[in-house]
Amino acid sequence: MNPGRQKMSSVGLFCKVRYMEQNISNIKRLSNPIAYFLSVIGFLVLLFMVIGAVYYATVAVDYQWRWFKVPKYFMYKSTITLYAEGYGEIDTIADNREKKDIIVTTDAGTRTYTVPKDSYDWIEGDMVSPGDIVASYEGSWQPGILAKGLWVTLKISFLATIFGITLGIIGGVARVSDTPVLKWSAITYVEVIRGSPLLVQIMIFYFVLGTTMNKILLMNGIPKLDPQWYGIMALSIFTGAYVVEIVRAGIEAIHPGQVEAARSSGMTYFQCMFHIILPQALKTILPPLAGQFINLIKDSSLLGLISIRELTKATREGITTSLQTFELWILCAILYLLMTFTLSMCVQYLERRTATK
């Protein structure tokens, strides 16, 4: 039997064995329902004990829970307030369909305010001063600070994942290449990036690279980059270094005879990698890749140190203004859990799909 074909079949056999083990565990669960339900009850009891301990601790410190104030951090109705710009008087209040036009004549000029009915307390001829509220009313629904922070975290994590995968695949292929320049470049990249903390790299990208690059851009009449892009760069390059080693391990798990067979059929090295080797390696590298990108989502919380209002920084700002420490931190943890758990479930689904093929 061809050694390459034998190695490929062994990888497929490994995935199928995992799939069968999952099915066997499901059968055992159904064949012994009493033990299964007792386990569920035990888990729920333990969960309620933990919740009760947390509640008792909050009672001991006399903490007042205010969950009813939490929804406004996701969606709220904005309040629009219009102010007078100078000394003057209310000249005219006229109907404008379902609204009112308030014409104010001041030393700064004449201005017309179109506002809803019942949003003001003025009558014609009233005097106004600078800073007086002409009208105040509810505006449209707006995303709250946590919703905005969650969106920034999702956006940064998604872009950093895409760039990290790209860097990791290119670096992984270069890492196993026979070309010294490619191989040494990949090794240097991996060792340098993995040899320093992510926080230090974020600071270097923002304060060193960012300051230099923004100055060059402004000198050429180009607007400076948003801090989010430096955060995305730092996360992408940091994650890519770990993905390089994951991809390298996946490639080396494939029998080298397959590379030789593909090269002998006329394929280039990179055609062989992207059409023959990497599709097979994907089955073995999915679990470690999932763990790496889950870490990426959590590591994005460090970007608040460079003035990026991601989820953690948004939570800190919400606590500063509301003093709802327990509610907002618990909610922040739940949101991170939802993101990472969703990613984990998606990867498990892909594992099952690839295991059955």
Three-point CA angle 216, 219, 220, nearest 5°? 90
Measured CA to CA, the distance from residue 230 to residue 228 in angstroms comes to 5
The tokens describing 170, both together, are 């290119």
Average pLDDT over residues 7-31: 49
| pLDDT tens digit sequence for 278-329 | 878 887 888 888 889 999 999 999 999 998 999 999 999 999 988 888 889 9
Q: What pLDDT, on a 0 to 100 scale, did the predictor assign at position 9? A: 43
pTM equals 0.77
**How many C-beta atoms lie closer than 10 Å to residue 318's C-beta?**
25
Average pLDDT over residues 197-215: 92
pLDDT at 14 over 90: no
Measured CA to CA, the distance from residue 132 to residue 129 in angstroms comes to 6
Measured CA to CA, the distance from residue 329 to residue 332 in angstroms comes to 5
| pLDDT tens digit sequence for 56-99 | 888 888 888 888 888 888 988 888 888 888 888 888 888 887 78
Average pLDDT over residues 106-116: 81
Q: What are the distances in angstroms from CA 223 to CA 46, 205, 280? A: 55, 18, 44
Class of domain 145-355: mainly alpha
Residue spans of the domains in the chain: they are: 75-142, 145-355
**How many C-beta atoms lie closer than 10 Å to residue 74's C-beta?**
14
Q: What pLDDT, on a 0 to 100 scale, did the predictor assign at position 22? A: 54
Residue 69: strand, helix, or coil? helix
Q: What pLDDT, on a 0 to 100 scale, did the predictor assign at position 29? A: 54
Domain at 75-142: CATH architecture? Beta Barrel (2.40)
Average pLDDT over residues 129-143: 83
